[in-house]
Amino acid sequence: MTCALIAPFGIDTHRTPPGHPERPERLAAVLSALDETFFPDLQRFEAPKGDREFLRTVHDPDHLDRLDSLTPGSGAVAIDTDTVLLPDTLDAALRGVGGACLGVDLVLEGRARNAFIASRPPGHHAERARAMGFCFYGTVAAAALHAVRNRGIERVAVLDFDAHHGNGTQDILWDASEVFFASTHQRNIFPMRGTAEETGAHGQILNLPLKNGSGSRQMAEAWGSILARVEEWRPELILLSAGFDAHQHDPLAGLRWRDTDFTWLTGRILDLAERHAPGRVVSVLEGGYDLGVLRRCVPAHMRLLAGPAPERHPEPA
């Protein structure tokens, strides 16, 4: 049993305007890099559309209806300065939700060891009643609630290592006592959320913001604290918001992570999952806007997900 790759193969239709950082080339870079990397017995699944009725229990129905009504027949509608709604945007976002929920089903049914969902647009900034930050639907939050409501999972952990705080995931899961949400992110950049004081309705949210310029050592310290809390939570399933924009070469943030930091963190999470989940991790692509970083770091992340057991990595210096 190996890893499942779930993606909208050949149907990346959310074509943002030229110069937009959340561009189609991101997904193309990820999929081409994965095609060039050898993964024994990798299972590939077309990302299905998510269940719209279930999505209405995740988001405010008025928010979903508003997005539907704003969708243009041609051209583009600006939701805000960053978030552009195109004719096929919601179809692409719905496939992200469907892909993440399929990943949950595959690992819970024992049809895949782990799953990686390569989709765009990202989802972790989409709040219950607001699209923002390139995001329209709360992909990972929806997958977590699917695991709880539809699959009977009692303890889920959602771990977000994107450079930007997953304010949408936090907003949707604020009252979800079955889901522990933790995030590291750069302090004082978009979306200007994620302070340590934001702890959720049940104390099940942990935010550890990092200073601009923080590198490997600060990353390891923060995630050591988070994973200690996850150990206490003893999750039956772990979901990842896998953003690669904390990398030192990313143009939209100021953290200084290196390639090896992402593999170290992935290995630590998988090691913990082996003890508690058991071994079940579903990872969803979020940010990451340097194509070279995506081409290197996503296959390395995927290689660990697809491996027979977590690899040990030395502590970052």
Q: Which residues are catalytic?
A: 125
Residue 43: beta bridge partners?
4
